[in-house]
Amino acid sequence: RVALLAGCAQQALAPRINQATIEVLTANGVEVVVPSAQGCCGALALHSGDMAGAMNLARRNLRAFPLDAVDAVVSNAAGCGSALKEYELLFQDAPDAARAHDFSRKARDVSEFLDELGLREPRPLSQPMMIAYHDACHLAHAQGVWGAPRRLLRSIPNAAVVEIAEGELCCGSAGTYNIEHPDVAAQLGQRKARNILRTNADVVVTGNIGCLVQLRAHLAQNQSAIPVMHTMELLAMAYREA
């Protein structure tokens, strides 16, 4: 049983990601609750150095999530998940320190949780598919989750995962960076798009809404129609295959 962080931007830009996440978790025997009193994780406030604002947002989630009634607090957005795991640092000298510690210890990216759980093998895809997997910085670098999403994707029969050159480099989204430094963010986006196109993959998969939006924009600028999907969307598609 897990509690899902619904996210902010993702609910507006791509609500189907949460739907796919619940679908995949349910297919693996996991009960999912979505606490109605939850709010923003505070990641963007943290990125901007607004510690007080981040703590106010985090306190709402500390109260909203039923830690004693779930095995994990699951996020499907890398930036959000990174923030959840930092709650214990945010509150280390505050009255909520013990609760924040427990919260952070239960926080998991959904790919990390499913990899630890052991994924039920999806159905084979109707056609072979080559997947270019993009590491979101907040997943690979901040959370150290690199292998889990690749293992999940490779578990799909008829799918292959290929690496993107310079895969460790940021795509340019980086939370608020693409707004505060659009020129540099655009250079990174174009560099990432060119490296993706060199893979000749059928689809690009990532685990963060900011990356997803950035990759779509810069691939489109390169006249590419290659689809960009969240890891959970592709897994959900595989589970639905007839």
The string of pLDDT tens digits covering residues 134-160 is 999 999 999 999 999 999 999 999 999
CA-based nearest residue to 111, from 127, 132, 133: 133
Burial class for 27, CB neighbours closer than 10 Å (0-12, 13-18, 19+): middle
Q: How far is CA 66 from CA 35, 37, 221, in A?
A: 8, 11, 44
Q: Using CA atoms, how far apart are residues 151 and 155, in angstroms rounded to an integer? A: 6
Question: Is residue 76 a contact partner of residue 7, using CB atoms and an 8 Å limit?
Answer: yes
Q: What is the pTM of this model?
A: 0.94
Distance, CA of 226 to CA of 29 (rounded, Å):
32
Token pair listed for 237: 């598609």
* Strand-strand pairing, 107-109 and 228-230: unpaired
3-state secondary structure 52-117: HHHHHHHHHHHHHCCHHHCCEEEECCHHHHHHHHCHHHHCCCCCCHHHHHHHHHHEEEHHHHHHHH
- pLDDT at position 184 is 93
Where the chain has pLDDT below 50, the residues are none
Q: Could you tell me if 186 and 153 are in contact, meaning their C-beta atoms sit under 8 angstroms apart?
A: no
Q: Is 86 exposed, middle or buried (0-12, 13-18, 19+ CB in 10 A)?
A: buried
Q: Tell me which residue of 104, 47, 101, 55 sits closest to 75, measured CA to CA.
A: 104
pLDDT in tens, 224-239: 999 999 999 999 999 9
pLDDT given at position 10:
87
Report the pLDDT value the prediction gives residue 174, as an integer from 0 to 100: 77
